[in-house]
Homo-oligomer: A and B are copies of this chain.
């Protein structure tokens, strides 16, 4: 892993909006699904997933069979994780509120769940049951009644049993065998089989991401996810073996994943390099991890912790591990990070799988302005205004003055009319 000084460490980024060819492909898939619904969905599934399906919906029997195909150890771990995830997210739930005033006016904010949401779960080489928990449980905690999962089938037309088991644990209500841009189009516009949803969440490839961009506004979407990232901020007391192991746990995700160590200690930097080499040697996903470390990994040498935190805030990492002597003492200075792991036992996989906070986190520097997936992503608010006669009589003239200054006479007259009648003019 290359070592660079903070001064030469670039944090520049841009957004991936795909190539024109990719975008045109997505537009044509969306318009086909819009026009012919299920027919287009079946046909794209045959084309892209190489399977001719009899039906899109996963049956109750398929869902039940899956439970037997997962080891009891894994199933129990998923169930324990689900309890933690549910408990953490329940703390995020919000209340509607109303305030009354002696003048008779009542103002408030109603908080209600979305009615129907779609969760995209990638298929392909790997299946991630944990992602099903992380996406579906916050929706369930928010009170969403209909949680629809879509995921591409394999060439036998099957869905990973771990994914189906997690869906059961997390309370997913419908599952369809469809992936890619066609899945997003079906969720947004609806087909005969798949009714449209209010919001689509979950990661996917560039076609899925572009399709989400296109339907944004007709339905809501979550932030478009980029490759995974970890930054470890460590001082000379940190354990280089732990650091290397945690960096690799990011790196094994994706050749484009990024793993960065920020430290003022040259010795720690050198030791971590050695550990990385050793641990890489017999890693099953070595090729992926090696490419990630080579192309997107770095050790950033800083003058001191203060400069280190500055680099961290500029990177705004998805995952930040703080392995320094007194991590809580620096917490206030860390402004941008999706999830912050404090201390040597808070290894990133603890958060990826089990502790309770969500593992769907803002990537590519978006932690500057966006948040881990949470209950707020599955609620909507409505303002409530019950204005009293007394307040209208008192404040009506100000409202009229503002409306007239903006040239909106009909606005002014809607108030004038009421003032006239109530004053008996």
Contact = CB atoms under 8 A, between A and B. Distances in A.
A109 B115 CA distance: 26
A235 interface: no
A389 interface: yes
Interface stretch (A56-64, A149-157, A282-290): A282-290
A273 interface: no
B380 A368 contact: yes
Interface string A320-363: 00000001100100111111111111111111111111100110
A173 to B, nearest CB: 17
Chain A interface size band reads: 35 or more
Interface in A379-425: 380-389, 391-392, 395, 398-399, 401-403, 405-415, 417-418
B412 A349 contact: yes
- Number of copies of this protein chain within its complex: 2
A200 B364 CA distance: 18
Nearest to A349: B411
A114 interface: yes
| Residue picked from A16, A334, A367, A369, most chain B C-beta under 10 Å | A369
A380 B387 contact: no
B395 A354 contact: yes
A224 B199 CA distance: 15
Q: SS class of chain A's interface: helix, strand, loop or mixed?
A: mixed
A88 interface: yes
Interface of A: 13-17, 70-71, 73-74, 76-78, 80-81, 88, 91-92, 97, 99, 105-107, 109-110, 112, 114-115, 126-130, 162, 198-199, 213-220, 223-224, 241-242, 245-246, 248-249, 251-253, 279, 283-285, 289, 327-328, 331, 334-358, 361-362, 364, 366-372, 374, 376, 380-389, 391-392, 395, 398-399, 401-403, 405-415, 417-418
25 contacts: A15-B215, A15-B217, A73-B401, A77-B399, A80-B398, A88-B107, A91-B99, A109-B357, A128-B406, A162-B405, A213-B216, A220-B370, A248-B413, A285-B409, A331-B384, A336-B382, A338-B383, A345-B387, A345-B391, A347-B387, A347-B392, A347-B415, A349-B414, A354-B399, A354-B402
